[in-house]
Amino acid sequence: MTGMPFSPPTHEPVIVAVTGASGAPYALRLIARLANAGVTQHLLFSDAAKIVLQQECHISLPQEAHAIPAALADALNISAEQMHSYADHDWFSPVASGSAGLPRMVIAPCSMGTLARIASGISGTLIERAADVILKESRQLILLPRETPLSTIHLENMLKLARMGAEIIPAMPGFYHRPDSIETLIDFVVDRILDHLHICNKESPRWGA
Ligand SMILES: Cc1cc2nc3c(=O)[nH]c(=O)nc-3n(C[C@H](O)[C@H](O)[C@H](O)COP(=O)(O)O)c2cc1C
């Protein structure tokens, strides 16, 4: 199984897709921590993700996908060197085909719309196509869904994807580590994603440690 958090660390590349659910700060924190860990990232932003990013983080991403890594590097004070970004219908990008061999993908946050379309095999956007490829190749797909309350449609779609091997890590921070800031709450969730990606994450507070 891919979901064991304490397997040996790996620096294999990650497809990071950001959709239009609330929770853009999770995406930014994940991208920053992956960059600082030296992991190559293939970035995909839905149109709705860009709207939410502006609303929640006051960051306007450029329209041209190739300019996004530099904009993120500026905003987050990270290196753009290992970041690539693709437009929504760039079917020639490596994320669009299983033959490129990209081993893993995170969708954070994941909207209920994207979740439903992936669960139904609709590959209308590059994000949906990339997730479809990851599932058909039995590779690692991590989803960070965000909605409340959840309808039976949402729950059934999550169950369907979990049964196909997707790892569902909901945007649901715990409070038992007594967080004193929003950043600590965000890191609680991002730590779980990094654990599941087997990325060395020693600073994360551990229960019982
Ligand atoms: C500020 C804002 C917050 C939103 N929050 C959520 C949310 O938490 N969950 C969700 O499923 N959709 C949310 N939406 C709606 C989605 O953005 C919308 O369904 C969109 O079509 C999703 O497109 P995408 O899946 O291609 O990113 C939000 C929209 C906005 C503008």
The CA-CA-CA angle for residues 10, 11, 12, to 5°, reads 100
Q: How far is the CA of 29 from the centre of ligand 1 (A)?
A: 19
Q: How far is the CA of 78 from the centre of ligand 1 (A)?
A: 27
How high does pLDDT run on average in the chain? 94
Q: What domains can you pick out in the chain, each with its CATH number?
A: 14-196 (3.40.50.1950)
pLDDT tens sequence across 148-174: 999 999 999 999 999 999 999 999 999
Using pLDDT thresholds of 50, 70 and 90, give the confidence band for residue 3.
very low
Question: Burial letters for 155-177: b for 16+ Cβ neighbours within 10 Å, e otherwise?
Answer: eebbeebeeeebbbbbbebeeee
Distance between CA 117 and CA 132 in Å, rounded? 10
Using pLDDT thresholds of 50, 70 and 90, give the confidence band for residue 6.
low
* pLDDT reading at 82 higher than 70: yes
- Which sign does the torsion angle of CA 95, 141, 121, 47 carry? negative
Q: Whose CA is nearest to atom 16 of ligand 1?
A: 20
- Which sign does the torsion angle of CA 158, 165, 196, 92 carry? negative
What pLDDT was estimated at residue 102? Answer: 95
Whole-structure pTM over 0.85, yes or no? yes
* pLDDT reading at 11 higher than 50: yes
pLDDT tens sequence across 116-130: 999 999 999 999 999
28 vs 203 pLDDT, higher one: 28
What pLDDT was estimated at residue 45? Answer: 98
Q: Token pair of 30, please? A: 């994940």
* pLDDT reading at 1 higher than 50: no
**17 pairs with which residues across the strands?**
44, 107
Task: Please give the DSSP secondary-structure letter assigned to residue 177.
Answer: T
Distance between CA 20 and CA 22 in Å, rounded? 6
* pLDDT reading at 24 higher than 70: yes
Contact residues of ligand 1, CB 6 A cut-off = 19-22, 46, 48-49, 51-52, 55, 111-114, 146-147
pLDDT tens sequence across 86-139: 999 999 999 999 999 999 999 999 999 999 999 999 999 999 999 999 999 999
